[in-house]
Structure 1
């Protein structure tokens, strides 16, 4: 249920891509929306400051269980209220700093506030194991957002009864739709705010201290995920910056296939990591799981690249957005690295050494910032794709190297590197070589792609036939 609550909303949100690229005025407007979402992600991490994870940690402790909910709720409510007051008082300054009009920010601040206020109620729902309710509400939020945005962007001009009460700016309408969904969802989950309030100062201090490393890791992850759009806006010439961000962000979204694959795999395997941590064969299972992810990921990467030009017009309806297609393989490889990093990170999760996860994330974020700052003025958004690939590659390698000292997992490094290298080489040769030589969409290109896929799958299957047969027998 939690997997569905994560993956299905992302798929529904993906439907917003063709909606936005088709009905927003231009790539400049799409770029502006992408930059705003970058700020939303960063501010969501800052305003929750690890309190969700801290809630789970102390709610499971019988000594604190009764007061954890109210202490978490009061803390989030106070800090969110302070944020809203300061943000509205400094609305013009925020608009100047971000180069985003204040008229958008007044709605975005509301979206951020209500999303933050829902963090603890949703965590409480999960703690009570109300997985179906959790999943349905998450899906409802996305359905409301998507449907309202579609109505506002497509049909509002023809709805004379209400269009006079709403602005004509489509970006503003889009964020009004988001705010409406956030308010409705908050009203559905707000019941815990009306329970008995009991604030425990000592517990609050423990929760804040516990959440601090989570905040650092979350900020680093947000930087890796989204800070490149902000840096592109700041470092490119003003007259082209937002257009370039829009084009880059649109093609970046084409990596959703690998993103969802990595996310779905993580959601399925992470509980298994913890449940089997006391098993005497746990490390062997971790090694097999990691190799299976690489096997599946290596094949998925190449197949997705072969098919990406067929997927492209379904998501990006205007050809102006296709300009940045050269970043797609780099972003796909980056998310394959990130998926491998997530499976390798088992060592610090099961040994309660999560601070190392923060260190690794900060290293990745630092590389992201440095590469973007140095290369954006020279090569534009290609620098951002290189930075994302480099950052997740660094995190993957760092997790493996550091993990060897803390948990002896017998990874089949030889074959993992072989499959990963083969898949990446095939991807680069096909996309940057054969795709240019034969022409996009030509039958010769897809014939070559099918042949290379058979070679890749056949080679890996031959070498891993023992493992694959073992898995089939278990089924």
Structure 2
């Protein structure tokens, strides 16, 4: 068990490097974007990227996770599994692009971007590259080529950030000069909406990503197995449906804000909501880094028949870290907003932050708990569980957003994630029992929520009181985990 923990820690560090740096460095773009873009433009940006999230799940149709599963099942045919998955995605993406070009005008009208057809074409370029790269990137993870994976992701991140800096900061300076360079810069600046710059930077970065992955993608020119494809599709299709419901639970609130609020304020409110959501970066990035490392590990350990207590202990440790992050972010919310959201007109939405942070903690718990149905080959439960969450998401968003605006979206998110985590746990205990320390987990959630709320609502800007709230949570954990701490201390002394 200790060796597995070491492996998980090492993988989390490596995959976390790209995930954490990616999120952090992209988070650096928040002050850039909120300084130059209006709240309405920032809302359009959030809307478009929420659409990208839906398309990513739809067009990969669960084959990323399916690839992990069937690489383990057909270890002697791993290259054939890779070729089958990748070629399938290439063909389906081509059909999707053709359909969008055919019905482009209707799609733009539904999106309310009839005056900006460039948005749709840039989105197609971004999503095509992301989808084509999905399985090759999964192969790097499956082959435990973490350094190669990290190199690719960091290269893409760096280019994306550099291009954003170029479009938003360098280009206006070039336009102030004289000569052909200044004229070219002025032409580049002739855009109606600064969101175009964000999308263009993403396109350029994605092109570099595909170029780097080209040697891996080129290997799929031969090989396709219909039997493997049918098995993989049968396994993955429920994951896609669950994934769509999952993305809906995470992203559809942006669409409800866009369509349920009056048109004259919808984009502005969406921009405010999305900017405040960015302050939950610490919890989101840890959850993502953990997922990157844990998913292949869980499949591997599950195949070995490892003691399920390991999964329970992993969730216990995960909960402590996430709850600590919750209290810390809420305690220092003021300096965080001043540092990263420079335009104070966005700050009117800060009241949604505690709700969204707690929602992200519970989402992390749900992600870990839900590994059971993948290990037990009962992926159809993923659809059921996320469907339960989707009922809460749709029902509460439709009811609350017209009444209380973006606060309604935040409460709907928290309720949805809570319903999914609870239902996943209950189903899991019936079909794949794991002895999770539920009492301890609920205790940490309660204590961190209370301390975080006190720090956010009453302690600001008293640094000592804020720090006291954080230390109070640390003390709670230390007292509750004193036996484990004593055991670890004794082992360290013996060395």
- TM-score for the superposition, normalised by structure 2: 0.87
Tell me what 1:39 maps to: 51
Q: Secondary structure at the match of 1:217?
A: helix
Tell me what 2:10 maps to: none
Instruction: Give deviations 1:92-114, integer Å, cap 9, x for gaps.
Output: 22211011321221111111111
Instruction: Give deviations 1:246-300, integer Å, cap 9, x for gaps.
Output: 0000001101112123334444555554555478882333333333333333333
Tell me what 1:344 maps to: 369
Tell me what 2:398 maps to: 373
Deviation at 1:210, TM superposition (A): 2.2
Q: Which moved more, 1:414-423 or 1:253-262?
A: 414-423
Tell me what 1:230 maps to: 255
* Gap change, CA 1:473 and 1:269, over 3 Å in 2: farther
CA distance in structure 2 between the partners assigned to 1:157 and 1:23 by the alignment: 11
Q: Secondary structure at the match of 2:308?
A: helix
Tell me what 2:198 maps to: 174
* Gap change, CA 1:463 and 1:116, over 3 Å in 2: closer
Alignment of 1:98-137 (within 5 A): 98-100=111-113, 101-137=116-152
- The question of whether the paired residues in 2 share the 8 Å contact of 1:58 and 1:64 is answered with no
Q: Secondary structure at the match of 1:225?
A: helix
Deviation at 1:59, TM superposition (A): 3.8
* Gap change, CA 1:130 and 1:408, over 3 Å in 2: closer
Tell me what 1:220 maps to: 245
Deviation at 1:428, TM superposition (A): 2.6
- C-alpha root-mean-square deviation of aligned residues, in Å? 2.3
Alignment of 1:25-424 (within 5 A): 26-60=38-72, 61-62=74-75, 64-100=77-113, 101-160=116-175, 161=181, 162-169=184-191, 170-195=194-219, 196-270=221-295, 273-274=298-299, 276-277=301-302, 282-424=307-449
CA distance in structure 2 between the partners assigned to 1:455 and 1:194 by the alignment: 55
> What are structure 1's unaligned runs of at least 5 residues?
none
Deviation at 1:66, TM superposition (A): 4.6
Q: Which moved more, 1:33-42 or 1:171-180?
A: 171-180
Tell me what 2:469 maps to: 452
Aligned residues: 466
* Gap change, CA 1:200 and 1:301, over 3 Å in 2: same
- The question of whether the paired residues in 1 share the 8 Å contact of 2:172 and 2:189 is answered with no
Deviation at 1:43, TM superposition (A): 0.7
Tell me what 1:466 maps to: 483
- The question of whether the paired residues in 1 share the 8 Å contact of 2:58 and 2:244 is answered with yes
* Gap change, CA 1:251 and 1:203, over 3 Å in 2: same
CA distance in structure 2 between the partners assigned to 1:364 and 1:227 by the alignment: 12
* Gap change, CA 1:97 and 1:472, over 3 Å in 2: farther
* Gap change, CA 1:345 and 1:201, over 3 Å in 2: closer
Instruction: Give deviations 1:41-70, integer Å, cap 9, x for gaps.
Output: 101111111122233333441564453333
- The question of whether the paired residues in 1 share the 8 Å contact of 2:356 and 2:414 is answered with yes
CA distance in structure 2 between the partners assigned to 1:105 and 1:279 by the alignment: 46
- TM-score for the superposition, normalised by structure 1: 0.91
CA distance in structure 2 between the partners assigned to 1:473 and 1:217 by the alignment: 45
Return the match for 2:451 from 426, 430, 443: 426
CA distance in structure 2 between the partners assigned to 1:67 and 1:279 by the alignment: 23
Deviation at 1:209, TM superposition (A): 2.0
- The question of whether the paired residues in 2 share the 8 Å contact of 1:48 and 1:116 is answered with yes
CA distance in structure 1 between the partners assigned to 2:231 and 2:398 by the alignment: 37
